[in-house]
Amino acid sequence: MKISAKSFMQNMKLFEFKMIGIISDTHENEEAIKKAVKIFKDKNPAFVVHCGDIISPPILEHFNGLKMKFVFGNNDGEKNGLNAKAMELGYEEITDEKKFEYNGKKLYAYHGTSKEKLNAAIKSNKYDYILTGHTHIKRDEMIGKTRVINPGALFRIYPYTIALLDIENDKLEFVKV
């Protein structure tokens, strides 16, 4: 049985990958960032969300080859430089927070610097997932209809961790880096 290329591609859409990567608090730990990026490239998520504390513009180059969404953390002082580098590398603008939809789910990414702002977003019940960082501590908690996820960090904690979220099946995996 022969199948046309067009038919094959249409069928492949049925298997479109619904997983996203989550990383935070990388704090210029280049060795750990390289390992995390390799894990993401091997797992091939649709995109990766970085929940802040990138630190300096050159660090963004390590994420080449990945579709990325970045938010600023409290230690990201070089905001103009980070955004200039992000634009140069073809990434969207880095902002303090991101609200977006993926696979029919509403997501909110925010570093978590203001506990009040984070808690207000959680209590709003507007989001299916809230992706955060700041504490460097892994978190997977259901509050109301919202799943709050902190992937952990690549700095000042052991083990270093990132996360993979299968949106379609609502499955989360923390991965040691």
- For the chain, what is the domain count? 1
The CATH number linked to 37 is 3.60.21.10
Residue 141 counted as domain residue: yes
Residue 117 counted as domain residue: yes
Q: What percent of the chain has pLDDT over 70?
A: 90
Q: What is the pLDDT of residues 49-86, one digit of tens each?
A: 999 999 999 999 999 999 999 999 999 999 999 999 99
Using DSSP, how many helices (H) and how many strands (E) does the chain show?
4, 10
Residue 3 counted as domain residue: no
Q: What percent of the chain has pLDDT over 90?
A: 90
Residue 1 counted as domain residue: no
Q: What residues have CB less than 8 Å from 162, skipping those under 6 apart?
A: 21, 22, 23, 36, 39, 40, 151, 152, 154, 174, 175, 177
Amino acid at 162: I
pLDDT tier for residue 1 given thresholds of 50, 70 and 90: low
DSSP class of residue 61? G
- 13-27, 34-48, 78-92: which range is least confident on average? 13-27
pTM here is 0.90
Residue 9 counted as domain residue: no
Residue 86 counted as domain residue: yes
Residue 142 counted as domain residue: yes
Residue 10 counted as domain residue: no
Q: In the chain, what's the furthest Cα-to-Cα distance?
A: 60
Q: What is the pLDDT of residues 110-146, one digit of tens each?
A: 999 999 999 999 999 999 999 999 999 999 999 999 9
Query: Which residues span the domain enclosing 29?
Result: 16-176
- Is the pLDDT score of 8 beyond 90? no
